[in-house]
Amino acid sequence: MPSSSSSSLFSDLDVTVEPDAAIGVMTWYGIGGRADLLVRPQSVDDLAALVKRCRRSGTPLRILGGGANLLVADDGVDGLVVKLDAPAFRQIKYNRSGEINIMRAMAGADMPKTLMAAVRQGLGGLSQMAGIPGSIGGMIRMNAGGSYGCIGEVVRSVTCLTRSGELVTYPAEELRFEYRSTNIPDPVIVSATFELEPTDPVALRDRVKEIFAFKKSTQPLADSSAGCTFKNPIDPVSEERVPAGKLIDEAGLKGETIGGASISHQHANFIVTEPGARADDVLALLDLVRRRVYEHAGIELETEVVVWQREEDPE
C-alpha cells in the first residue's frame, strides 16, 4: 500500500493519484488485480520528474497504455502504474509547411482514433493498423501489426524518456523494428512522428474498412481478449515463421476452457474471457497451450501478451 515515502515521489507534481486502483478492469481482458498506486501526470515535465524519482528510489514504475495487450495478475502490482491519458499525452499534430505528410502523435493517443484522424486528412500509411486496439506508445514498443504490415514501417522518429528522466529522440535510421519488438532501450515512450503519404481519403477509408471487415470475419473482435496471445514462432525445420494459431489448432486446443478463460473457436491464438474469469484462469491456459503445442509439434511458444505480476521487474 502507499506510504509517505511513495507520496514524496509526486507530492509537488501536477498529477492525480488513485491508491489501490482497479487496473485489471482497464485492460481488454477486463480482469485482474489492482495497483498500489495509479498516477496520471498532466505534462511531460511531470512524467519526466516521476521517472527520475522512481529510478533514484528504486520504485517499480509501469506504463499502462490502452490495456489491449496486457494481463494483470489477480494479486495486482506494486510500485507506481502511470496512465498517460491526460490531454497532453493524447495530442495529434500535423506539419503545416508545404504538403501535409508528417503526423506527430503522443504516446497516450488511441491507435484507432489516430488512424481515422489520418484517414480524414487523406494521409495513408497506417491502414495496416485497422482493427488493432491500443495506444501509440504500446504500438511502437511492440511494433504492432499483422499480415498487412507493422507500425514501424512508417515511423520517422520516436521520443522517449531515459531511466534518468531525460528526453531523447531517435530518428528512424537508429531504430530497429523487428517482429513484435524494437531496440528502444528506454522505459517510457513519449511520442512518435510518422511519415505518411497524401492520398484520396475516400479510397483510403474504403481500404481501412476492407481490412477491418476481414479481421472481424476471422478474429473474435467482439469478445474480451488481449488480441493474439502468442507470437508466431520460427519453425526449426523450415526456419520460417508459422502461425501460432495453426499450431494451437493442430494440437486440438480450440475451445479448451479453464475457469472463465477459453481458446476461441474462431481463432485459436485468441484467449477470450467470460464474466467472472480470473487472471489465474488465463495463466493456467497459457501454460497448457505451451505444453501441448510443444508435445505435439516440438515448438516452444512465446507469449505476445504482457503479464504484470507483483514483485517482478516491469516489462
* Positions marked catalytic: 180, 228, 304
Pairing of strands 34-41, 188-195: unpaired
Q: How many other C-beta atoms are found inside a 10 Å radius of the C-beta of residue 258?
A: 19
Comparing C-alpha atoms, which of 130, 148, 131, 152 is closest to residue 140? 152
Question: How is residue 306 written as a grid cell?
Answer: 504482457
Using DSSP, state whether 291 is helix, strand or coil: helix
Question: How is residue 47 written as a grid cell?
Answer: 512524467
Helix (H), strand (E), coil (C) string for 86-149: CHHHCCEEECCCCCCCEEEEECCCEHHHHHHHHHHCCEECCHHHCCCCCEHHHHHHHCCEECCE
Q: Is the torsion defined by CA of 250, 252, 255, 256 positive or negative?
A: negative
Q: How many other C-beta atoms are found inside a 10 Å radius of the C-beta of residue 147?
A: 10
